Each structure stands twice: as structure tokens, then as C-alpha cells.
Amino acid sequence: MRTLMMISPCSFAPSLLPRLPSRPPAASKFIAPVCLALCAMSTDASSGGGGGGGGGGEQTVTERKTALRTTLRKKLGELDDEYIKAQSEAVAAKLFALPEYKAARGVACFVSMPKEFGTRKILEGICADGKALYLPRVESVKERTMSMLKAEGMSDVDSWPAGKWGIPEPPKDGPPRLEALDEESNLDLVVVPGLAFDRQRRRLGQGAGFYDRWLARGLALREAPASFSGGEGPLHLVGVTLDELMVDEVPTDDFDMLVSRVVSPGGVFPPA
């Protein structure tokens, strides 16, 4: 299971996190409720979010998310490994061509699991391009928190032990590592995983909320440049996915974030 992740008006491009229709127009009113909602979130399966109350009528947002996850996990399990690898490498090429990737000094990404979008080519490219690479480590399963720690190249990544879900992570008993949200970091772009995306840049995660919490913290720090000087502009969130995981509409709640772009083998949304 993928567990693994606002910004001042002057430092954050307005198009980066467009609000869903129900969101208030003022950014200052938007940031705090998002953080509170995300911190209070548990898994979608145990949440009553989305309204409706389960009275037998129209499905709630939570129920729609759960049903979509079930469908897509089954679809992923039926895909051939070589097909997934080929699609993932096609996405890597599109990602490397994005202007925000080319300009990025530091990139946060993730180490993929079997039967999901493969990130190996992306990780290798980030290192080959001389950019700082940050990768996740689960800090608390109970609190659903993670950090993004600096990797010192692919040989470093390949030496990491597997974490709780079988994903290689920086060892907790190893040397200290720079966190992507530390003041000294140079994070400009986050490659975001998702079980589904749509062309409106909505994202469906695995349901545990690790990325939601981490991203909310990172975007909130960009709202307070006095305490976080690692970034000098918008924090770009780029979703990467397979064509089979692009859907017509991802069900969302008010606290769900949009990514900046979605990259699939079939295209980039919105186009670069």
C-alpha cells in the first residue's frame, strides 16, 4: 500500500493550486482550514467525509473514493510488468522536458512498489542531472507522518533497507540527512504519486493521508518565508501516472489539493 504528501501571494504562482469551486476566494482563509482538515483526517475508509450519512441515497465522496480505489487496484494488478515499465519510462521523458523540472534545483520523488507507476528512470534522471533528490521515510504510522530526506545518489538509495510496506527508506539509525522542508534545502518540485488523476489535476491517493499532511506542511511553510528560505518561488506539484489510471473525474472533498500538472504517457495536463 502506498502510504507514503500555503504560499504567499507574492511567492506562489496563482495557477499552482487553483481552488475547487466550494473554496473561499481568499488565500489567507484557505490555508488554515486545509491544514486543520488534513491534520484531523484519518483513512478515507474510516472517515465519514463527503456528507450524505450513508442513508441509501447518492454515494458520499468517501464511498466513491473507496469504490474507485477498488476498481483501479484490480486494474493495476492485471497490467503486465513490462508494460508498466514502458509507460513509466515514457512519462519520465515527458517530465524531464517540463520547464519546471529543468529549472528545479531540488526534486522530491518516491520509490515505487511493484504493480504501480515505476520511478526508477525518474530517480536516475534526477541524479544524472545534478539535482538534489529527496525521498520519503515514514516517521509515524499512528500519526501518519513522513519526511522527505536527501539521497546521495542511486547507490545510496539502493543500499537502503525496506520499510514497513517493503519500500526502501533512509535508515533511521543512519547519519543525519537534510529534509526537503529544512531551511537549507532547495526544493522546487515534488513528483506526486497517486492511484488516480484526472485532466483537471485532481488526485486520488491511497487513503492514508501521508502525502496530504506533508504537502500541507510544505505549502504552509512557503507562506512563512521568514522561517523557511529554501524555496524562492512556487512549489510545483507534478502527478505522474499510467494511462489506465487517468479517469474522467476524481471525487474530491474541500480539503483535497490539486497538483500543478499531471503527466501520463498520453499527455501533459495542462500542456507545458
Cβ atoms of 247 and 55 within 8 Å: the answer is: no
Tell me whether residue 162 is exposed, middle or buried, using C-beta atoms within 10 angstroms of its C-beta: 0 to 12, 13 to 18, 19 or more. exposed
Cell numbers given for 125: 534522471
In a 3-state reduction of DSSP, which class is residue 267?
A: strand
User: Considering the chain, what is the average pLDDT of its residues?
Assistant: 80
pLDDT of residue 43: 40
- The CATH label, of 1.10.3720.10, 1.10.20.10, 3.40.50.10420, 3.30.1490.190, for the domain at 27-269 is 3.40.50.10420
pLDDT of residue 232: 54
Going through 72-222 in order, the beta strands assigned E by DSSP cover 106-108, 132-140, 145-151, 187-192, 196-197, 203-204
Cβ atoms of 215 and 257 within 8 Å: the answer is: yes
pLDDT of residue 228: 36
pLDDT of residue 107: 97
Positions in the chain whose pLDDT score sits under 50: 1-54, 224-230
Closest CA relative to residue 76, chosen from 116, 107, 16 = 116
Convert the pLDDT of each residue in 74-83 to its tens digit: 999 999 999 9
pLDDT of residue 122: 99
In angstroms, the CA 54 to CA 167 distance is: 35
